[in-house]
A and B are shown apart, each in its own frame.
Chain A
Amino acid sequence: MRPLRLKAIAVKEALQILRDPISLVIALLMPFMQMILLGYGINLDVRNLPTCVFDREASQDSQALLKHFQASPYFRIVETPSTYRDVIRALDGGACRLAIVIPPDFSQRIADSGGSAVQALTDASDDNTANIAIGYAQAVVGAYAAEATAGAAARAGLSTGPLQPVAVQSRVWFNEDLESRNFIIPGVVALVMALVGAQLASLTVSREWERGTMELLVSTPVTPMELMLGKLAPYFLVGLLDAAFCLCFAVFWFKVPFRGDLLVLFLTTSLFLVVVLGIGYLISVAIRSQLGASQIGLLVTMLPTVLLSGMAFPIDQMPKAVQLVCTFVPARYYIAILKAVFLKGSGLLELWRPVAALLAYAAVIGFFAARAFKKRLE
Chain B
Amino acid sequence: MTSVAVAAEGLTKRFGDFVAVDGIDFTVAAGEIVGFLGPNGAGKSTTIRMLCGLLRPSAGRGLVAGIDVAADPEAVRQHIGYMSQKFSLYNDLTVIENLRFFGGIYQVPRASLPERLAFAISMAGLEGREERLVSTLAGGWKQRLALGCAILHRPPILFLDEPTSGVDPQSRRRFWDLIHSLAADGVAVLVSTHYMDEAEYCDRVALINRGKLIDMASPAEFKRTNLGGELFLVECRPLGAAIARLQDTPHLLDVAAFGNSLHVLVEDSAYDSESLTALLRQGGVEVSLAHTIAPSVEDVFVRMIGRTGGPH
Contact = CB atoms under 8 A, between A and B. Distances in A.
Nearest to B149: A216
Contact of B80 (A4, A219, A378): A219
Interface in A207-245: 211-223
A215 B84 contact: yes
Nearest to B133: A19
A217 B89 CA distance: 9
B55 A216 contact: no
A376 B105 CA distance: 17
Interface stretch (B70-78, B169-177, B237-245): B70-78
B52 A219 contact: yes
A11 B102 CA distance: 12
B92 interface: yes
B93 A220 contact: no
A213 B77 contact: no
Contacts of B56: 376, 378
Q: Is the interface of B mostly helix, strand, loop or mixed?
A: loop
Contact of A216 (B53, B73, B88, B97): B88
B266 to A, nearest CB: 46
B40 interface: no
Contacts of B92: 15-16, 19-20
Contacts of B80: 219
Interface in A1-33: 2, 4-5, 7-9, 11-12, 15-16, 19-20
B103 A215 contact: no
A8 B55 contact: no
A32 to B, nearest CB: 24
B90 A221 contact: no
Contacts of B110: 4
B49 A377 contact: yes
Contacts of B54: 215, 218-219, 376-377
Contacts of B195: none
Q: Is the interface of A mostly helix, strand, loop or mixed?
A: helix
Contacts of B201: none
Contacts of A2: 107
Contacts of A375: 53, 73
B119 interface: no
In this complex, which of A212, A221, A375, A378 has the most chain B Cβ atoms within 10 angstroms of its Cβ?
A221
Contact of A219 (B77, B100, B101, B103): B77
A235 B186 CA distance: 43
Given A222-B105, A377-B49, A377-B55, A215 B97 contact: no
B82 interface: yes
* List of 6 A-B pairs having minimum Cβ-Cβ separation, nearest first: A8-B104, A216-B88, A219-B82, A221-B77, A215-B84, A19-B92
Interface of B: 49, 52-56, 73-74, 77-78, 80, 82, 84, 86-93, 97, 100-107, 110, 149
27 contacts: A2-B107, A4-B104, A7-B104, A8-B101, A8-B105, A9-B104, A11-B97, A12-B93, A12-B97, A12-B101, A212-B84, A212-B86, A213-B88, A213-B89, A215-B86, A216-B84, A216-B88, A219-B54, A220-B102, A220-B106, A221-B105, A223-B74, A376-B56, A377-B49, A377-B54, A377-B55, A378-B56
